Chain A
Amino acid sequence: MGNRLDLSHHINSRSRAGLGIFFCPGVAVPLLLLLSILFLQVIPAHAFSAETQVAQVSSTVESGAVKAVEGVEVKDKASELIKSYKAGKSKRLKKGPPAPALEAKDYPVVEGVSPRVTVWLAAQMHLWFAAFVLAVPIFVLILEVIGMVTGDSRYDRTAYEFIRVSITAYSITAITGGLLLLSLVVFYPALMGYLSSVFGSTMLGYGLLFFIESITLYIYYYGWGIMNDGGGLKRLHLFVGLLLNMSGTALMFIANAWVTFMMSPAGVDKMGAFQGGVFAAINNHLWSPMNLHRFVANIAYGGSIVGAYAAYQYLSSKSQASRAHYDWMGYTASLIAIGALLPIPFAGYWLTAEIYSYSQQMGITLMGGVFGWLFIIQAVLIGALFLAANYYLWCGMGRAEGGNRYTGYIKYIAIVLVLSFLVWFTPHNIVLTASETSALGGQYHPWLKALGLMPAKNTAVNIMVIFTYISFLLYRRSGKASTVPWASTATAVEVGLFGAAILNIIFLGVYYGYYTDNVYKVVSSIPQVMTTLTVILLSLCIEWLIFRRAERAGGFTWGRMPDRSQYALVLIAVSFTWLMGLMGFVRSAIRQNWHVYSIMKDNSPEAYTPSIAYAARVVSFGTIVFMALIIFIFWLSSLGKGEENKV
């Protein structure tokens, strides 16, 4: 049982907690959440009962104040709706009330507290922690399986350490989730009442799933040592891990349904009255792209946070053995983060294209209008992510004796990356001084404007992805020497494949992006992505064939990374956090003055779009608070480790 991790001392010390775990936030908060949701189910029964809704709509209709969509008189439709709602009620149909037309007085006031900033920060904090704790169990389970199959105890040990980091974060996730719910109920009761009239059943399901997730997480974590018998118990442990991941992912999908419903409502009529089919509301226009985007991004984010943890431990390690362990852990985590980072631009592009396709107004607000300027910051941050990831891989070549064979290629990779970044963040609409505007004769630069369009950016990002993969490939090769006689031929084939793929990507981007019908601009991104994925998969196969019986060229000496490479890992985590905050704000803010786009108007005193500077300050403040909490969690985890080591 070489790979068995001895954690019995740890389990024994933890088992003293006994039933105490049921009183920790991870369990108590779900219970609170469940109770709150049940309470919420009561609110509409009184404050938003059918009679109240109808009375509200009736009164506003009489005063001519109801507007379904800005500037449109909908008196007749509202009257019809009230009749049909009453008729539906009499026939006991499961249709819901129309969305209430709110006024400023419908929003409770707490002296000195800004409802928007409170909900904003609570939601953002919850999302950061939730992304982390949902992602970690996914790759912990994969690492555990790899450890079991390969018999390499490092995987098991690292997987356990990952889940230990996330367990403290899980409590804070639950607490911030509770804060978010309470702040919503306090400040936006009508919105929550309406949403519960549509999603009530899913809210109850959410609470239940949260409970299942908590229980399975605690069994998974506390049972790690005792179930590590390499046989039936270990398999049972893996099954519990699977349940944990399934419940966590289902939770995210449900929450995504609520959020995307607010952007692209479905399953309701024009007045917002629920038509009775909850799945129609869940499966709204943006649900699937949002699910995919968040799922992949969460994995990358989780990997980046664990990478930052490994960097923290690496930098504070006092022994070579510890440095070696955390170097390996940081490498594994960064591999997860970088691997998941590669498809994110494509998932993001799909989501954005669907937003455009759902609403021209939301789409243009997002990237061409007021929030277009934030996309320059987004592009810079994504550039920072790719650069930091490549830098970490380049430094990693120093781990291997054979690394010198490949360091000469770094500058060429860097040149391609820089050129791609320049295209990536050159905006179409440029920030100009008055004299520049005058000299250029408008807002666009005649030479650079082509770089501001999506075909150029898709081309650039695909090339960035390919060259980041090439950095990884060279890093992997630096520790190995091939023994097959046809290795150089296979390498030449690989080079040819990369060349052909890059030419194809450039052709698709230039020809279909600029010389054909506009509709191909979006569509051509699909073969571009397929080209990138295909060439990476083919290269992986060739690499496997070349090196499957390869001798090690000195192998990798773990713990030999320069300290500055660890700061690259920290930079990845910080960039991800800030990026998620900024883009999360933009995604939410493109609804503008609607709680539920085109259906339920936000008439609170804060129903205006804040300035970009203000939004950036709030998000930056949140990022600092989150990173401070994460460092606190890292410190707490290291305390637990010290106790383990003493035993």
Chain B
Amino acid sequence: MHKLLKLFLLILGIYVLLKLPGLLFGLPVPSSLILLYLFFAAIVTILVMTTSDASANELFSPIIALLEEPARVRQRNTIFVILPLFAALITYLAVRPDSEGVVGFRSVHPAPPAVIEAYGQTYDLGTLENPLRSLESSEPERFRSYVKEGGDIYFQNCFFCHGAKLDGRGHYAHALTPRPLTFQGSDTISQLQESYVFWRVVKGGPGLPKQAGPWASSMPAWEGILNEEEVWKVILFIYDYTGNKPRQWSH
């Protein structure tokens, strides 16, 4: 098989492979990633195929022949017509008006402010810690009771959106865009300090910085509904239930 054909088939094969999760499981690999993956796969394949002159000549010889051989004038002219049309089609598909909307640059965990004002006082998020966390080692029974209270608060307030399993699949979740965040897994709340979670609960979507799109969040600001102690308790619960530990830099 000719190298150029191999290259084409390889790229096509990778493209199909990347499209499969979307077609079979409804979990599409994002188009931005597909573009990057294909670009790098193509580049590396071309590099491997051009490490020696002989190999490079073999790869490019059909293209050079098409461009230079007088006998191939008809093929050449056909390609010269098709290529710009193909480019025009891709451009059209990329820029045509549709209902898709613009691509979102939404950061789920944007940078927090240095300090926040809530409950009539100022919290420095750089140094703020969950005041109940230390009980985990000093008074385990009391700690467990706070976790349980946090669970009650969660099921009275949060589970409608974040779900009974804390997986972001509550009753209302499917009506929301973007959907509520799951707390399961090792890549969400375990990445964050408790002070960060405190800020997100207390200030909600409206408290997000502009670059994080405060308009693209359904999270209410719980400041006027839960008191400070209740917020800390519910934070204890979501970490405990999901088996995660809050991020701590002092370790």
Contacts and interface: CB of A to CB of B under 8 A. Distances in A.
Interface of A: 69-72, 356-357, 359-362, 364-365, 368-370, 372-373, 376, 380, 383, 387, 390-391, 394-395, 397-398, 407, 410-411, 414, 417-418, 421-422, 425-426, 428-450, 452-453, 513-515, 517-519, 523, 562, 564, 598, 609
Given A439-B28, A446-B27, A518-B191, A410 B51 contact: yes
Tell me the interface secondary structure of chain A in the complex: helix
A361 B113 contact: yes
B115 interface: yes
A368 B111 CA distance: 7
B126 A360 contact: yes
Given A72-B115, A518-B244, 18 more contacts: A69-B115, A360-B125, A360-B196, A364-B112, A364-B196, A369-B211, A387-B43, A390-B47, A407-B52, A429-B107, A431-B32, A433-B31, A439-B27, A443-B108, A448-B29, A449-B187, A518-B190, A519-B248
Interface in B19-53: 21-22, 26-33, 36-37, 40-41, 43-45, 47-48, 50-53
A361 B187 contact: no
B28 A368 contact: no
Interface stretch (B85-93, B173-181, B227-235): B173-181
17 contacts: A70-B114, A368-B110, A369-B209, A370-B111, A387-B47, A390-B47, A394-B48, A417-B44, A422-B37, A425-B36, A439-B26, A441-B168, A442-B108, A442-B181, A517-B245, A519-B248, A598-B114
B100 A430 contact: no
Contact of A450 (B22, B187, B212, B248): B187
A437 B177 contact: yes
Interface stretch (B62-70, B72-80, B116-124): B116-124
Interface residues of B, number: 70
B51 A407 contact: yes
Given A71-B115, A391-B47, A437-B178, A432 B104 contact: yes
A414 B48 contact: yes
Nearest to B21: A447
Contacts of A410: 48, 51
A361 B112 contact: yes
A414 B100 contact: no
Given A360-B193, A518-B244, A518-B245, A432 B30 contact: yes
A365 B116 CA distance: 17
A383 B107 contact: no
Nearest to B106: A443
B249 interface: yes
Nearest to A354: B249
Nearest to B40: A421
A441 B47 contact: no
Nearest to B125: A360
B40 A383 contact: yes
Given A445-B29, A518-B247, A373 B186 contact: no
B158 interface: no
A440 B168 CA distance: 12
Given A72-B115, A439-B26, A452-B187, A411 B48 contact: yes
